[in-house]
Amino acid sequence: MARRYWNINLEEMMEAGIHFGHGTRKWNPRMAPYISAKHKGIHITNLTRTARFLSEACDLVFDAASRGKQFLIVGTKNKAANLVARAAIKARCHYVNKKWLGGMLTNWSTTETRLHKFRDLRTEQKTGRLNRLPKRDAAILKRQLSRLQTYLGGIKYMTRVPDIVIIVDQQEEYTALRECITLGIPTICLIDTNCDPHLADISIPANDDAIASIRLILNKFVFAICEGRSSYIRNP
């Protein structure tokens, strides 16, 4: 896999607050190699190492996108949800940004059944068939549709398990990460100083609580994926 230049700027990363970790009492000792200092009771991550892993992750997603692979971006906490949806839509990826339903990947047949139901209800709504049903029946189906839209709206076009999963906040999305590990799906994970850097295939030490930090990293992935897709279109 060739290395490329992704314009990862340390000053830009500092401005986004990527280097700020959790309090020194709330940390995982396995993160010690990625921490450069302590400041006013919080750990400071080593941005040089963050830049290196982010660059490696961008190389990976570019290479995968250039071969037509499918991505899933997961980030369900409030600060990340909108950023995840916008990034995924821009890069034409699948996403989960509300709640990870247990077994979403490991029990794919059940997820597939829910997706078929979701698509059928959307079709019935678009054609006006729901409005022709008795009010009580229509109300029940509309509630089902609303719930499915909330939890499965970001994966409504997903027809198989993804090739690569990008996870924002290892602690928050631990169930999703474990499912990927079980299935052998490569993972890229943003990890703060309270996380285990050995779980994901590529762990990127970064502030997973700051909106600016999450946005900057997702933007790098979006650019790399879009560049890879352009390469795939030119050379299918």
Domains of the chain, first to last: 14-104+161-232 (3.40.50.10490), 106-151 (1.10.287.610)
Q: Measured between alpha carbons, how far is 229 from 236 in angstroms, rounded to an integer?
A: 10
DSSP characters over 125-165: HHTTTGGGS-HHHHHHHHHHHHHHHHHHGGGTT--S--SEE
Q: Measured between alpha carbons, how far is 61 from 101 in angstroms, rounded to an integer?
A: 25
pLDDT tens track for 190-233: 999 999 999 999 999 999 999 999 999 999 999 999 999 987 66
Reported as a pLDDT band with limits 50, 70 and 90, residue 23 is: confident
Q: Measured between alpha carbons, how far is 45 from 142 in angstroms, rounded to an integer?
A: 47
Q: Measured between alpha carbons, how far is 39 from 52 in angstroms, rounded to an integer?
A: 23
Q: Which residues pair with residue 32 across a beta bridge? A: none
- Supply 37's token pair: 């200092």
Q: What is the pTM of this model?
A: 0.92
Reported as a pLDDT band with limits 50, 70 and 90, residue 234 is: low
- Supply 231's token pair: 């390469």
- Supply 164's token pair: 């690569």
End-to-end CA distance of the chain: 18
Mean pLDDT of the chain: 93
Q: Does the pLDDT at position 42 exceed 80? A: yes
Reported as a pLDDT band with limits 50, 70 and 90, residue 38 is: confident
pLDDT tens track for 6-17: 889 899 999 999
Q: Does the pLDDT at position 235 exceed 90? A: no
pLDDT above 70 covers a percentage of the chain that reads 97
pLDDT tens track for 114-172: 999 999 999 998 888 888 888 898 899 999 999 999 999 999 999 999 999 999 999 99
- Supply 22's token pair: 């959790």
Q: Does the pLDDT at position 53 exceed 80? A: yes
- Supply 92's token pair: 């034409």
pLDDT on residue 2: 58
> Residue 182: in which H helix or E strand, if any?
helix 174-183
